[in-house]
Amino acid sequence: MCSYNKGRGHIDMIYADNAATTKMSKTAIDTMVALMNEEWGNPSSLYSRGQKAKEALETARETVAGLIGAQPNEILFTSGGSEADNQVIRSAAELGKKKGKMHIISTAFEHHAVLHTLAKLEKEGFDVTLLDVHEDGLVVPSEVEDAIRDDTCLVTIMFANNEIGTIQPIREIGAICREKGVLFHTDAVQAIGHVPVNVVDDNIDFLSASAHKFHGPKGVGFLYAKKGIRLTNLIEGGAQERGKRAGTENVPGIVAAAAAMKEACESMDEHAKHLVAARDKIIAGLEEIPHSALNGDPIRRLPSNVNFCFEGIEGESLLLLLDQKGIQASSGSACTSGSLDPSHVLLAIGRIHDVAHGSLRLSIGEDITDAEVDEIIEAVKDVVAYLRGFSPIWRDLMAGKKEFIL
């Protein structure tokens, strides 16, 4: 039953892995190509070709800043979300260290760009508190408040989780940090272009973003650092980006990123309405599968995100069979590292190993059709039933030798 191939080519697969990366929009591609053809000068050059590129770069900075309520001089372009996370956390740590404040608060379900940076800082003598995330995938602001100490230099909590899509109470957490005089960073890579983000209203001191998560190019991102906060360089060299990030700027990529972000922000409401309807229909459809559960809060989640655990199956097999049926999705387990460890995010919300292994993340795109929604539901139902048919764990569960958890 699952061996049939729909005969879809690579092109007309249903792409449901937009949290991993998105297709560049036509506007972004056209912008990038135009810049590569015309404004290919070095923005540091003083002659007109360089100055044209510089103008394009600074216009992009104004666009990006305006879309999140920041000032242009508070935006620094980077090679992506990972670099922005690294630089922000390093900067806050260095500022903290100078004042003898070496405690950082974060959560157990952050992106590895944050978690691995924090692990390194721990080796350098910092004390890191990783807050629990609750079963609904949400951080509780009062628990952030309780964790803040006199020596806390940074709170870093993601805006929206990349696996389960839950949207955190960022404004409340930001307000607490402001009141306590602690710097607050949010990894907003999954949020920018998808849900409203405003650094002033949301009390944000530092933010990271990445263009390839909102239909811009890969290898381009930015950080926001509130005026007056001193950044630490990760890359030394020339005086680009106010001396805080050396290296000739990727002008075509940056300008395309700004164009993609503008487009995403302008169509956000319309897209969200369509996505939420499609998302909720998929969730309702998959909830009909016995011994399954949605991961993360059903409402406070990204419009594009569906994440389920199915008992008795392996996420990897599920993905491979869905791929054969023309659907490209992701599983929390074994995703990037090739290891068999289940997702740290699913473990953080309290899923046990066996259950966390059988996970599926669908991150749908704005252009999804009703027919594709139905196709996804049918395909997942088919594949889960098929895999359970020869799963030893499922056999034990059915025989009562093991207890169902979901």
Q: Where along the sequence are the contacts to ligand PLP (CB under 6 A)?
A: 80-82, 85, 111, 113, 158, 162, 187, 189-190, 210, 212-213, 221
Helical residues (DSSP H) of 138-250, grouped into ranges: 141-147, 170-180
Distance CA 108, CA 141 (A): 15
Which among 153, 265, 309, 335 is annotated as catalytic? 335
Distance CA 335, CA 294 (A): 19
Nearest to 252 by CA among 403, 6, 56, 88: 56
Distance CA 406, CA 403 (A): 9
Nearest residue (CB) to ligand PLP, 63 versus 363:
363
Torsion of the alpha carbons at 291, 296, 300 and 306, rounded to the nearest 10: -60
Distance CA 370, CA 277 (A): 10
Helical axes 251-266 vs 26-37, angle rounded to 10°: 150
Helical residues (DSSP H) of 107-199, grouped into ranges: 112-123, 141-147, 170-180
Distance CA 347, CA 333 (A): 10
Strand partners, 84: none
For the question of residue 335 being annotated catalytic, the response is yes
Distance CA 243, CA 73 (A): 12
Nearest residue (CB) to ligand PLP, 297 versus 375:
297
Q: Is the distance from CB of 190 to CB of 160 less than 8 angstroms?
A: yes
Burial classification of residue 190, based on how many CB atoms lie within 10 Å of its CB (0-12 exposed, 13-18 middle, 19 or more buried): buried
In 164-232, the DSSP E strands lie at: 183-187, 206-210, 221-225
Q: Is the distance from CB of 310 to CB of 318 less than 8 angstroms?
A: yes
**Tokens coding 242:** 């106010």
What distance, in Å, lies between the first and last C-alpha atoms of the chain? 26
Q: Is the distance from CB of 346 to CB of 295 less than 8 angstroms?
A: yes
Q: Is the distance from CB of 26 to CB of 43 less than 8 angstroms?
A: no
Q: Is the dihedral of CA 146, 151, 154, 156 positive or negative?
A: negative
DSSP state of 105: E
Known catalytic residues are 335
